[in-house]
Structure 1
Amino acid sequence: MREFDLLVLGGGPGGYVAALRAAQRGLSVGLVEKERPGGVCLNWGCIPTKAMLRSAEVFQTVKAAAEYGVHAENVGFDYPAIRQRKDGIVKTLTDGVAGLLKANGVTVVEGHATFTGPATVDIHEAGPSPIAPDGPRYAAEPAARIDQATARNFVIATGSTPARLPVPGGDLPGVITSDGAFGLTEVPERIVIIGGSAVGAEWASLFHAFGSEVTIVEMQDRLVPAEDAEIGKALGRSFTQRGITVLTGASVTEITEGLRVHVGDRKLDADVVLVGVGRRPNTAALGLDAAGVATDERGFIVVDDQLRTNVAGVHAIGDVTGKALLAHVASHQGITAADVIAGHDARIDYTVVPAATFTHPEIASVGLSEAAARDAGHDIVAAKFPFSALGRARTFGDTEGFVKIVAGERHGEVLGVHIFGPSASDLITEGALAISLEATLDELADTIHAHPTLGESGMEAALTALGLPVHVPPKR
């Protein structure tokens, strides 16, 4: 019987960070992981998609080299080599995580943990790792028991898996989720993507760049519906202009043999159908009932702002809590939970959570959208600054999009920042810091920004919101 101060179940961006922080706090820590460390983010999500999107970006840039005065002939791509590069990056990072865990004295146990009580778990064989196939990574029925463990504290960090499409034909061969997309050995000639949120939009960008005929179907009235309305509409226009078919306010009713997707009166023929309609928590075979851990009506584990469940000594973090299904939120939750377990009065605040979608152009946001701010009763001012008016964007050759700031009308406090354009995922950090520090439009505008940079866009948007624009005409 293994014994620990803390046993972490799951080695994703929440679990491994929790284990590292707890070890640094002087606790004896074990981590149970059934596959490679790094979880969805490093193995099937954040990192591999961004590696492949970077290849798509390079391909598109080289094809347009003449616009920069550079001549390139016979430009093409090697999809197996793109996948190989992605695999190499993933291996480097997952090996790095494994090395960090070892260096910090964390005991890693390969397997699947199942609670047998509030303080004990059985550990079962991990079984084969379905990296290429499309299927649930957390088995409903674990394999043979190989070990047992007890701990004074637990952190459940088992993450989530893509939800399947609940329509007739949703399980036909060729209907895949984002996990299954990594198993494709060639670019599909025709692909229908169901779901226009971040996952679907990113894969639409990637496959279109490599020459696929792409149709994206979203039941809401715009793409990326969680973002500010202007962002979603701008992405829809951008996709349409580039030749991606965008169907919003539309639902798939069934998929028939031959991969014919029925969307209202439309029938879309596809070689691959990619489903990106949400995620479900990995709680199967965890034995939550044996531990007495409560879940909500969707199956997500209920936690407080210290990541405590209803069972003393049992915490939960990451996607399995359903709070915000983002890797950086999971990591922050992991740090918070580890500090709480180590005796510190740590709490997590979800009011300043940046989000990024790696389409082309990129999308990033933090804080309240314009509609959400008005719904919350704020009297606001909202202003945009276009990248087309920014010198660095011109030299960069990427001028599509804008920075939008939402602020309180009376005091100018920054309530939200929304970016559609180049390097949005990097630029959003200034917005997150501004909201976190309760900065005002005046403070953003008075901060000297380096020139020429894309970062000047935030300052310029603040100036525009103040009615003092420098590089765009004043409103009339």
Structure 2
Amino acid sequence: MSSYDVAVIGAGPGGYVAAIRAAQLGFKTVIIEKNKLGGTCLNVGCIPSKALLDSSHHYHDAVKHFAEHGIEIEAPKVNFGQMIARKQGVIDQTVSGIKYLMDKNKIDVLEGTGAFKDATHIVVTAADGSTQEIEAKYTIIATGSVSSELPFAPTDGTRIITSTEALELPEVPKHLIVIGGGVIGLELGSVYLRLGSEVTVVEYADRVIPGMDGALSKELTKILKKQGMKFHTSTGVTSVTNNGDSVTLTATSKKGEELTIEGDYALVAVGRRAFTGSLGLENVGIEVDERGRIKTNGHLQTNVANIYAIGDVVAGAMLAHKAEEEGTLVAEYLAGQKPHINYNLIPGVVYTWPEVSGVGQTEEQLKEAGVEFKSGTFKFAALGRARASMDTDGFVKILADKNTDEILGMHIIGARAADLIAEGVTAMEFRASAEDLTRMSHAHPTFSEAIKEAALAATDNRAIHA
């Protein structure tokens, strides 16, 4: 029987980062993965969806914007098979990079499903049914999540699909119905909208991306409608039927209006749930909450002292970068260090175009908490860089404490918002004020100038270019 200091179950971003950091700190480490290194994010999530978003964005630009730039081409056509093949190439290259990192850090990789025999022994069952048992002083659970299901819209992998199948469709849909106006639904809806599909989004909440600042939701809805996406908010789906070569969705609005939508695919994108079913938690008595997530303390330690859990299997946002931070925290904590995570400063991103990002508190949260704040907004349309690239949609919004001027939230919709939000994270990590941002030189012309201008707007309403 092989013995290890640290065993990691699950090789997604949280798991493989935890394993690397543990190995760097001198722990003999093993990682167990039943599918492929990289987990959901690299194989059927973050990376493949971004590959298709980029490919579809290039096509959309060729159709809509090349002529205005003075680039004259014959009408472009979509080679969807090549687009899917390129996506797979990106996945393969990224996964091979993780394998390289495992080898570089001398981390053993076991292929199979890991389940607890007891608190220090794990049985790994391979795809062919063979088993091996290992011993581990510490174990980090990082088994991630799976798509949530609706009882009245069970997915079948053909016409009623999850995000996994949406990344491998055999054709560009004529009409894609998206159930859920969150990140996954809007991103994959955007892919097919750009490629020529009719896309209809049905969302139970009264707005899309409901967890983000309301101003971002309103602006994104307006922009996506302009691009051709259709929305039915405050609407609950009652049934979805696979008709063989089409689907029929029925829904009821909160006003009592009945709705029937015909399409050729229905994407169920109503969130994800923690995946713990194969771990044998009952064998060690690990406690879970009412949503099936593993209970942990501030050090991500379970009620079993030598077992920790990170990422989508614990409470909090289901984000790859949040899982990475947690994996690093646990490894460093086991080494006797004193790491920390400020969960308020985990940014959220939607990779539509324009992109949407946010960190810290939303305006709605500050109002609910009774915090006095001031707000500054600056539109991308006033930026020379945005006009040069024809990316004038969106704005930067900064929320600061009314009395101390400390930045409490930054919310961006616009070109490269996913990258720009790091400036807000950095500023808030060091408890910067809006005034601090106004004193920083931002290169011209850049999109980041909008952040400085929004900070100026929040500081006595003195934006220069507004």
Q: Is TM > 0.5 for Structure 1 vs Structure 2?
A: yes
| Counterpart residue identity of residue 206, structure 1 | V
Alignment of 1:319-358 (within 5 A): 319-358=312-351
Corresponding residue to 1:248 among 219, 233, 236: 233
CA offset at residue 347 of structure 1?
Answer: 3.1
Q: 1:367-386, aligned counterparts within 5 Å?
A: 367-386=360-379
Number of residue pairs aligned between Structure 1 and Structure 2:
456
What are the Cα deviations for residues 194-213 of structure 1, in whole angstroms up to 9, with x where unaligned? 00000001011111000001
> 2:426 matched to which residue of 1?
433
Q: Which residue is 1:197 aligned to?
A: 182
Question: What aligned pairs does 1:29-428 form with structure 2 within 5 A after superposition?
Answer: 29-63=29-63, 64-126=65-127, 144-167=129-152, 171=156, 173-258=158-243, 259-264=247-252, 265-428=258-421
1:449 and 2:442 correspond: yes
What CA distance in whole angstroms lies between the structure 1 residues aligned with 2:200 and 2:287?
40
Cα deviation code 1:149-180 (max 9, x no counterpart)? 11100000000010112215655841011011
Provide structure 2 residue ranges, at least 5 long, that are not aligned to the other structure: 253-257
CA distance in 1, matches of 2:420, 2:338: 31
The amino acid that maps onto 1:448 is: S
CA shift, 1:232, in A, is 0.7
Find the residue that maps to 1:400 and give its secondary structure.
Answer: coil
What is the alpha-carbon distance in structure 2 between the residues aligned to residue 100 and residue 51 of structure 1?
A: 22
Q: Unaligned 5+ residue runs, structure 1?
A: 128-143
| Aligned CA distance change for structure 1 residues 94 and 257 (closer, same or farther; 3 Å) | closer
Partner of 1:139: none
User: Residues of 2 paired with 1:70 and 1:173: CA distance?
Assistant: 39
- Return the alpha-carbon distance in structure 1 between the equivalents of residues 130 and 273 of structure 2: 26
Residue 256 of structure 1 and its aligned partner are, at CA, apart by 2.6
Change (3 A) 1:260 1:67: same
Whether the 8 Å CA contact 1:403–1:419 is kept in 2: the answer is yes
Query: 8 Å contact 1:3–1:149 — kept in the other structure?
Result: yes
Distance 2:445 2:153 in 1: 54
- Give RMSD over aligned pairs: 1.2
Change in 2 beyond 3 A, CA 1:12/1:169: closer
Q: Is the 8 A contact 2:344 2:361 kept in 1?
A: no
* Aligned equivalents of 1:42, 1:424: Cα separation in 2: 21
What is the rounded CA distance, in whole Å, between the counterparts of 1:310 and 1:217 in structure 2?
40
Q: Is the 8 A contact 2:8 2:142 kept in 1?
A: yes
Secondary structure of 2:261's aligned partner:
strand
Partner of residue 2, structure 2? 2
**Cα distance change of structure 1 residues 458 and 158 upon mapping to structure 2, 3 Å threshold:** same
Deviation at 1:353, TM superposition (A): 0.7
SS at match of 1:351: helix
- Cα 1:262–1:102, aligned 2, differ >3 Å: closer, same or farther? same
Q: Take 2:343 and 2:127, find their aligned partners in 1: how far apart are those partners?
A: 34
Report if aligned partners of 2:373, 2:401 keep a CA contact under 8 Å in 1: yes
- Tell me which amino acid in the other structure corresponds to 2:123: D
For residues 103-148 of structure 1, give each alpha carbon's deviation from its aligned partner in whole angstroms, at most 9, with x where no partner exists.
Answer: 1010000110111111111110136xxxxxxxxxxxxxxxx34100
What is the TM-score when the length of structure 1 is the normalising length?
0.94
The answer on 1:470 being equivalent to 2:459 is: no
Report deviation, 1:377.
2.2
Q: Is the 8 A contact 1:193 1:215 kept in 2?
A: yes
- Return the TM-score normalized by structure 2: 0.96
- Number of the residue aligned with 1:131: none
Deviations 1:423-455 (A, max 9, x none): 000100001111111101110011111000001
Report if aligned partners of 1:35, 1:126 keep a CA contact under 8 Å in 2: no
Given that 1:118 and 1:292 are in contact with CA atoms closer than 8 Å, whether structure 2 keeps it comes out as: no
| C-alpha distance 126-344 of structure 1, shift in aligned 2 (>3 A) | farther
AA matched with 1:202: E
The 2-side partners of 1:299 and 1:49 are apart by 27
* Counterpart Cα distance in 2 of 1:151 and 1:257: 47
Per-residue Cα deviation, 1:173-196 (whole angstroms, up to 9, x for no partner): 410110111221211111100000
User: Alpha carbons of 1:428 and 1:169: their partners in 2 closer, same or farther (altered >3 Å)?
Assistant: closer
Identity %: 39
